[in-house]
Amino acid sequence: MDAIWLSPFYPSELADGGYDVIDYRNVDPRLGTLEDFDELVTALHAHGMKIVVDIVPNHTSNMHEWFQAALTAEPGSPERDRYIFREGRGEHGELPPNDWQSLFGGRPGNAWPTANGICTSSQWSSRTNWKNPEVHEDFKKTLRFWSDRGVDGFRIDVAHGLAKISTANPSPRWTRTACSTPTIAMGTTRCGAAPKCTTSTVNGTPCSMNTGQHASPSARHG
């Protein structure tokens, strides 16, 4: 063995196995400290081994400081532009903006769950807006942070999903088919799966793009 790969070890509520990241430049205190991480890197390099870590740029935890700021910011604000927001359909924005479905299946539009009366893209994470240069620069800062601490490489989680379709129009009906390779259409999809969603509002309150995971029944639109 000449390298190890660490799945996310960052502060997280662990709603998605650590992929719901609260702080990209720290270690979850349940796992250790930055000093512990530095010791690990030093020991690995001393044995001629390299270290690769997961980076999760496609979405953040809903407890990330950026998303918390976005929830209280005005439409069109810099805080909102770090994520992907869309208006809901219906007279009062009470309906999902389209009928896109979670990659994990379920009813049309179920990729638009709500939590505490506000659609937050899922109960625990929200899609970043990679058309925003600030998002690019912040993740460059994260890459530099860990590179400076001796990390040799990165595995980019959901790299295929960073570019997102921006339309909120209802999608055409999809026919599930069997295939052996992933397919890309109307945004990011997988073989036999419906496309991922954008975002909506609940009673006029905006919400952000889903990660493709479904929320609990009590946290879904409708």
Each residue of 148-186: pLDDT tens digit? 999 999 999 989 888 876 555 555 544 333 333 332 222
**Any idea which residue has 């990660």 for tokens?**
211
**Any idea which residue has 């379709």 for tokens?**
165
Q: How far separated are the first and last CA of the chain, in Å rounded?
A: 50
Q: Residue 126: which of 173, 168, 79 has the closest Cα?
A: 79
How far apart CA 27 and CA 60 sit, in angstroms, is 15
Each residue of 32-43: pLDDT tens digit? 999 999 999 999
How far apart CA 47 and CA 51 sit, in angstroms, is 11
Bridge partners, 188 (sequence order): 184
Each residue of 8-56: pLDDT tens digit? 999 999 988 999 999 999 999 999 999 999 999 999 999 999 999 999 9
User: CA 110, 165, 84, 24: dihedral to nearest 10 degrees?
Assistant: 100
Report CA Rg, the chain: 19
User: What are the DSSP E strand ranges found in 98-210?
Assistant: 114-115, 118-119, 125-127, 153-156, 201-202, 205-208
90 or 199: which leads in pLDDT: 90
Q: What is the pTM of this model?
A: 0.71
Q: How many domains does the chain have?
A: 1
Each residue of 74-122: pLDDT tens digit? 888 999 899 877 766 777 766 766 666 666 555 555 555 443 333 444 4
* Domain housing 59: 3-219
Does residue 208 have a pLDDT over 60?
no
